Structure 1
Amino acid sequence: MSDDMTTQVFKEEAYELLGELETSLLELEDVPDDMDIINRVFRALHTIKGSGSMFGFEAIAEFTHEVETVFDMVRNGELAISKPLLTLSLSARDHIYSMLESPSGEGDFALGNGILDGLKDVASGALGGAPAEAAAPAEEPEPAEEQAAEAPAAEKQVDAEPEDQPLRSLFQIIIKVAAGSEVDEDSLDSLLQELGRLGDIRSKVLHKDAEPWWDVVFESDSDSMSIEEIFFFTDIPVTVNVREVAREDVADHFAPADEIDGEVEAGPVKKLGEILVERGDVPSEAIDAVLADQKPLGELLTEKGVVSKEKVDSALAEQNATKQFKTASKKARKKVDTASSIRVSAEKLDYLVDLVGELVIVQAQISQVVSSKGDPSLTALSEELERLSDELRDSTLGIRMLPIGTTFSKFRRLVRDLSEELGKEIDLHTNGAETELDKTVIERLGDPLVHLLRNSIDHGIEDPETRASEGKARRGTITLTAEHSGGDVMILIEDDGKGMSKEAIKVKAIEKGLLSADQDLTDKEIFNLIFEPGFSTAQSVTNVSGRGVGMDVVKRAIDSLRGSIDITSEQGKGTIITIRLPLTLAIIDGLQVRVSDDYFVIPLSLVEECVELTAKDVEEANGQQFVNLRGEIVPYIRIREWFEVEGESPPIEQIVITGLEGSRIGVVVDTVIGEHQTVIKSLGRVYRDVEGISGATIKGDGTLALILDIPKLFRTVLAEVKAAG
């Protein structure tokens, strides 16, 4: 593997670990005594440090080591979690990220030293730090729960679980006390307790020779150097020798013998004689000399005086532990093999989607040619090709789907930092993090959500004193929810703040000339005024808001995703912002229609039904563009008139009834052709701002069909209905 590739591998792992680190630090604010979370923080730092040193990122390794040392104090019960500690730790996380992004790998040296100085002050109690009260022995660290964090834009990870399994090893550790030293067993036990923080002690045998020493069999996902570091800083005069016995991939902690499935066979395990020879306790000739006897080898060796009983017991313990270790390892690998995964770059996925899109177009062309031939055998093959292309399309798009929680996770940090800056107390709750969206949609959704959350924090949630005076809880709440709604995904940002003042919005709109003083607007139309460029009701400009830049950007971003955004608000109660987005931007199911010689596609997820429109229906409406649909008056828009298509309308036209946000409108066309797999192609600059069009697709015969922007047409029709009274 080239240096560039190894560096990229390290960075990818580090980015994921930093994402987990940030999440864990934020969780500690709510549960500061949760040892599992503390262990996750420590393990993330330890892994970044070790990998950084291995791949030549010495500055990152040294900086992370200092932060890790502070959290080692937390693990040992010497330091309590505090807000200053978490704030500095989050800053340290950001600094490590900037070091990864820096070409030199070093980042801002002065900033890094400032963070470390702050952590030292916290550890010493000079900056809000405090020793943990009545600290119980730290719990044994468990393997980190590797969570899917926000991956770099260049990467997408599909089910990272198998790659995140820790690599565990079995070690023999010889701990000898320096000659002439007076060390009691309790002192040695304290060393073993410290060792136990890195893994599991499988056996320990105390040899009471002239100088007592421990023979320990130890299981851990740490390396031998990390184990030896435990003994570097002890005041006890000992020498330590660490020997790796076995190394396997295991998913969980070591399984006790009585919990291991008997049907899973252990791998080859060294025999007792081999272990003793390998340890240097017995010469191979002595083994050969006693093998002829029928007694167990360990007993025979003891009787012959070749080796002490303690050494035999220790070797037997290693043999038994190794057997169990390999059995559990094989069982774990069997489980992992059923859910293997790989890491694929986003560029490769995008290229695959493009290829599938072209295949769908070719398949449509083949189907069109075959239908004109009337050959049954060709028709059968064409139908099979269509089925396979449908499955390939769905499978490929499924690969690009990511849980929206990858975007939600970073907002906890935003809410924490900004609310602290503004002197507010705010909790962020998230629901539906498992809801899946296309990777491209998620990437482009991040900035609009940041704008909306910042507005909720700044404009929506009041300061604690104001909330208390109004009978509210001092802590405000922002709830971020994602859920499926038909063929779309709906995202809601809800706060329990002061809500929006319709009167204040109207006054500001009149000042800016956006409406006249006597103009009557619905609540929805009033709230939508905040999406106008330069509109802001803030009384003063801050570094957060007030310049009128942001909400119009949000509106354009959501529109570019073929989505819609709406606001409902009640003064004194709070505000709900609803975003509706398509699942994917690549391929959709559409309804193909024709007006004269031009073809259009309507997203099938919005189509409810198709009905006829006759000259009699038009006459009965007295020139109004409404149709009576089973007692319901439904407005409609003529595509021929909207796009100024030449030619006469047929005697009987077709109305495609579409539904959106609880309302219905009709789209009048000449002919409804049928369903069509639509590979979405973006429009060039000349046509990008044409109202009513969101994209284009290539039909089976190679000609173009325009994709109708139904939400835009909806707004236009409803505005015309409102204007007509």
Structure 2
Amino acid sequence: MNLDEALQIFLLESRELLEEMETCLLSLEEAEEKTELVNAIFRAAHTIKGSSGLFGLDGVVAFTHITESVLDRVRDGRITISDRLIALLLSCRDHIGTLIDAVAAGQDTTDPVLTTQGMPLLEQLRSYLGPPASPLPTSSLTSSTTVEQTAQPLPLEVHAADHWHISVRFDPNVLRNGMDPLSFLRFLQTIGKIVEVVVLHDKLPNPASMDPESCYLGYELVFESNASKTAIENAFEFVRDDCQLRILPPHSRTTDYIRILEEESYESSARIGEMMVHCGALTQQELDAALHTQTIAAPPYPLLGKVLVQQQAVTPEVVEAAVKKQAQLKELHTQESRSIRIDADKLDQLINLVGELIIVGAGVNLVAQRANITELQEHTSKLSSLVEEVRDSALQLRMVKIGATFSRFQRVVHDVSRELGKDISLLINGEETELDKTVVEKIGDPLMHLVRNSMDHGIESAEVRLERGKPAQGTLRLNAFHDSGSIVITVEDDGGGLKRDKILSKAIERGLLDSGHHLTDSEVYALIFEPGFSTADKVSNLSGRGVGLDVVKRNIAALRGSVNIQSVEGEGTTVTIRLPLTLAIIDGFLVEVDSSVFAIPLDMIEECVAFSSEPGHNYTNLRNEILPFIRLRELFDIKNPPKRRENIVVLKHGGQKAGLVVDTLLGEFQTVIKPLGKIFNQAKCISGSTILGSGEVALILDVPVLIQQASHSQIEHKKIESLVLT
């Protein structure tokens, strides 16, 4: 892994940590047990700071360090959590996000503009920390020569008992994994001062056999800091598996220092020992005695095992078994961490290739049927099954949970409710529901419009709610669930609801309707999705009930989805969005009218029945139930009369049913969805196209639109229902 790849991973992980940080901050107020949330927020800030130090992002390190200091005091109970503090930390989280975005754009995080933006936040943070302490030196380390120069002679009265001793040996592959050994020294200087350092390179081979991509270095450090051992260990968090790390706290015993010497070669022990004598950790006599024992071979088990065996606490066999068990556990942990990140473009390319494979496979099946070779048909059948499994596996890779999208609105509700002076809570259900990543990416903006409208013009102020006998706190609910091969997302509020009469009169005023035209409630409420339609008495900077909602409907329609509104005046409004699970490949059902072939999403088909109806009627009696239907022959203006008995395909979507009258049922077909060109954007009842095995194009029918069109005469059906049933 090169440094650029490591930086991209850092940016991705930092954004994930910022999302986690925001979620935990928004949950703090309502949580009864706050300790774990505070710890999670602290860990997120600490990890971002540590990772930034590895890449030399001083601006991110400096700002996040102050944020982390405040969070550390919150953890210790020295600072009380309040709404003001949460708002400040959310703003700090946003500024860290701005710095991360600057890194992604190639900007310097110490840019004066970014620094100026963060100064007001730093002043507020420092108000929680009290008077500033005298800062520790934080000179930047740029090379091993500079590191050596930082090791200044210590006064004789300074003893190593007052300092940390850090011993680190890097694995040869640390450079190949994108890590810079010097960066860890830079980061240590952000939490303390490196008093003295010895750079060990005794493992460096001769120039002829040296690998320029391998690391042969190790460090012995005398470190001055008030940080905890955990904080120092976390400085090496990203190379814990690629280094040997030993940390001795201040006031350690002489035997602890001698153990370090025992594990090194004679030459390295001599250099390290000189540093220990210089710092007062050992006397010259103790060093000489330790070096005298260096001819003793190292045991085949760790140092702790050696001590236990010498004390006759355990046998060598027990120690060796423990070492073996530890190695097995490490291997098991490695196996459990086999998840990888995949670029989204690579997934898209995979889906495209699977789609082409399905089309070619359909062509092979057609050739096999025409050739009428039994063995060939058997093999193509097996091939089709394997292709279907590959398709399902590939699509599963693109499925992501909608919870990440829903979580964004915690912050929106938190900020907007305070801006409006309203008390609004957000309840989320179904965050584990999965759908295609493309759908998740594109549904965020429509949901944002709906949420902001509900908060601004749907939910009333606390005073109005109390007057109406409602709780002072308004409730906004986001829910997601699967239904009939679709995903359903609802945005529900317990506000004042939509005013039907006001919407109707506004539509008549704008010429959208005739005054005598009768509409159902859902048709009236759907008028707010007309461009520029609004019933708001005043337009706010957030929204207007209807302002921008035409964009919502257009974006949802572009995803082959539908939107419906139910509302009760004075009680609330529910917006229901139905979307397909995927936009790439579906199970389809082919039907034929004359010589034209059409595809229908299989999960929207209830059943297929023989056609029966009274002449001139567009409905039939399906087991004592009125079923409206559409004749595809009439819809697509196909002139030729049917040559055989027709069939009805019963469709179901959103709790409604309708039928399609077709000539022939051709059966199931793996349907690769191909978008229509811009010239067909206004075409109704068609959502896309697919390529058949013969190479011909079949249109994919838009089931929600067809059902809506078939249901327009529902009032007439109800009038004659009693006649049909008798």
TM-score normalised by the chain length of structure 2: 0.75
CA deviation string 1:228-256 (max 9, x = no partner) = 876669xxxx9759999997559xxxxxx
Question: Does 388-397 or 74-83 show the bigger shift?
Answer: 74-83
In structure 2, the partner of 1:625 is 618
Q: Is the CA contact (8 Å cut-off) linking 2:562 and 2:579 kept in structure 1? A: yes
In structure 2, the partner of 1:522 is 520
In structure 2, the partner of 1:546 is 544
In structure 2, the partner of 1:499 is 497
Select the residue among 626, 639, 644 that pairs with 2:637: 644
Gaps of 5+ in 2: 132-153, 169-182, 195-221, 243-258, 274-286, 720-726
Question: Does 353-362 or 18-27 show the bigger shift?
Answer: 18-27
**In 2: Cα distance, 1:337 partner to 1:213 partner:** 42
In structure 2, the partner of 1:109 is 115
Q: In the superposition, relative to structure 1, how do residues 332 and 659 fare at CA in structure 2: closer, same or farther (>3 Å)?
A: same
**In 2: Cα distance, 1:215 partner to 1:68 partner:** 22
Whether 1:708 aligns to 2:701 is: yes
Q: What SS does the aligned partner of 2:678 have?
A: coil
Gaps of 5+ in 1: 126-176, 182-209, 251-269, 302-308
CA drift of 1:225 comes to 7.4
Q: Is the CA contact (8 Å cut-off) linking 1:561 and 1:581 kept in structure 2? A: yes
Q: In the superposition, relative to structure 1, how do residues 328 and 722 fare at CA in structure 2: closer, same or farther (>3 Å)?
A: farther
**In 1: Cα distance, 2:387 partner to 2:505 partner:** 56
Q: Is the CA contact (8 Å cut-off) linking 1:10 and 1:55 kept in structure 2? A: no
In structure 1, the partner of 2:55 is 55
Select the residue among 290, 293, 300 that pairs with 1:283: 290
Whether 1:43 aligns to 2:50 is: no
In structure 2, the partner of 1:586 is 584
CA drift of 1:88 comes to 1.9
Identity of aligned residues (%): 43
Select the residue among 685, 690, 704 that pairs with 1:692: 685
Select the residue among 337, 356, 368 that pairs with 1:358: 356
Amino acid at match of 2:504: K
Q: What SS does the aligned partner of 2:679 have?
A: coil
Select the residue among 450, 453, 462 that pairs with 1:452: 450
In structure 2, the partner of 1:149 is none
CA drift of 1:91 comes to 1.5
Q: Is the CA contact (8 Å cut-off) linking 1:592 and 1:602 kept in structure 2? A: yes
* Mapping 1:369-384, distance limit 5 Å: 369-384=367-382
Q: What SS does the aligned partner of 1:61 have?
A: helix
In structure 2, the partner of 1:119 is 125
Question: Does 514-523 or 390-399 show the bigger shift?
Answer: 514-523
Q: In the superposition, relative to structure 1, how do residues 68 and 328 fare at CA in structure 2: closer, same or farther (>3 Å)?
A: farther
Whether 1:666 aligns to 2:655 is: no
CA drift of 1:5 comes to 3.0
Which has a greater percent of helix?
A: 2
Amino acid at match of 2:21: L
* Mapping 1:160-175, distance limit 5 Å: none
**In 2: Cα distance, 1:571 partner to 1:692 partner:** 33
Question: Does 95-104 or 406-415 show the bigger shift?
Answer: 95-104
Select the residue among 475, 478, 502 that pairs with 2:476: 478
Q: Is the CA contact (8 Å cut-off) linking 1:249 and 1:333 kept in structure 2? A: no
**In 2: Cα distance, 1:51 partner to 1:239 partner:** 20
CA drift of 1:10 comes to 2.2
Q: What SS does the aligned partner of 2:643 have?
A: coil
**In 1: Cα distance, 2:615 partner to 2:298 partner:** 110
CA drift of 1:687 comes to 1.4
Q: Is the CA contact (8 Å cut-off) linking 2:529 and 2:546 kept in structure 1? A: no
Question: Does 48-57 or 460-469 show the bigger shift?
Answer: 48-57
* Mapping 1:603-618, distance limit 5 Å: 603-613=601-611, 617-618=612-613
CA drift of 1:336 comes to 4.4
Question: Does 460-469 or 383-392 show the bigger shift?
Answer: 460-469
Amino acid at match of 2:8: Q
CA drift of 1:358 comes to 0.2
- RMSD in angstroms over aligned alpha carbons? 3.8
**In 2: Cα distance, 1:403 partner to 1:17 partner:** 17
Q: Is the CA contact (8 Å cut-off) linking 2:164 and 2:223 kept in structure 1? A: no
In structure 2, the partner of 1:412 is 410
**In 1: Cα distance, 2:558 partner to 2:52 partner:** 40
In structure 1, the partner of 2:143 is none
Q: Give the count of matched residue pairs.
A: 599
CA deviation string 1:176-195 (max 9, x = no partner) = x99779xxxxxxxxxxxxxx
CA drift of 1:51 comes to 1.9
In structure 2, the partner of 1:70 is 70
Q: In the superposition, relative to structure 1, how do residues 567 and 291 fare at CA in structure 2: closer, same or farther (>3 Å)?
A: closer
In structure 2, the partner of 1:96 is 96
In structure 1, the partner of 2:649 is 656
* Mapping 1:176-255, distance limit 5 Å: 240=224, 248-249=240-241
**In 2: Cα distance, 1:602 partner to 1:389 partner:** 20
In structure 2, the partner of 1:559 is 557
CA drift of 1:333 comes to 4.5
CA deviation string 1:664-705 (max 9, x = no partner) = 111111111111100000000111221010000000010000
